[in-house]
Amino acid sequence: MKRYALVLIALMSLLSAGCGALRSVEPEAAPEPAEEAGAQRPDGDSESLLAYFENVRNLRASELAREYHSVRELYAASQSEVNRVRYAMLLSIPGTAFNDNARALEALEPLLKSQNAALRHLAFIVNAHIGEQRRGQMLQQKLDQEQRRGQDMQQKLDALKSLEKDLIKRDSGGGSRK
């Protein structure tokens, strides 16, 4: 029995020591997928740029104009990935005086082409956002054209109805004279 207790204590010691060794190895044993592929991590740039985009969308026009001028100067001085995405985000805000989707896409183009760009995925999202805006604008233009066409058709129909009423009145008025 004494021998059985000693073996049990020894096994428990080994098991607890083994668990401690596994805990210290665990973080290194499972590297992040981006590290395995050799890709660069954006170090929170994507998250901070998304938060930035949310904030600038809520700025008043005067504050937004100031922000645009400062970001444009940063982009002119350094066309880093962060500056490219920030500049494209500002250019893609609809209803602003500086809205220019073509320039925004031009700023994003190097990131979209580079497989190693840290902000490539975010650039793709901004690119898709701009594409959806363009599609929405085209649909709105088509809707406006169809509404104008409908109004024109309604005016023609109203004119025909009026002409028909005049003809009916003339025929009924001319028939009663005889």
Summarize pLDDT for 36-77 with one digit per residue, the tens: 344 444 458 889 999 999 999 999 999 999 999 999 999 999
The total of other beta-carbon atoms located within 10 Å of residue 139's CB is 10
Contact (CB, 8 A) for 110 and 117: yes
Q: Are 98 and 91 in contact (CB under 8 A)?
A: yes
> What confidence tens digit (pLDDT) does each residue in 26-40 have?
333 333 433 334 444
Helix, strand, coil fractions of the chain, as percent rounded to 5: 80, 0, 20
CB atoms within 10 A of CB 104: 24
Compute the half-sphere exposure of residue 177: CA atoms within 13 Å on the CB side of its CA.
6
Distance CA 18, CA 26 (A): 12
Give domain limits for the chain: 45-138
- The backbone region for 80, taken as left when phi is positive above 0, alpha when psi lies in -120 to 50, beta otherwise, is beta
Distance, CA of 98 to CA of 56 (rounded, Å): 14
Q: What are the structure tokens assigned to 4, written together? A: 């059985």
pLDDT of residue 31: 38
Tell me what pLDDT residue 1 has.
53
State the pTM of this model: 0.59
pLDDT in tens, 88-127: 999 999 889 999 999 999 999 999 999 888 999 999 999 9
Cα 148 off chain centre by: 31
Question: Are the C-beta atoms of residues 68 and 89 closer than 8 Å to each other?
Answer: no
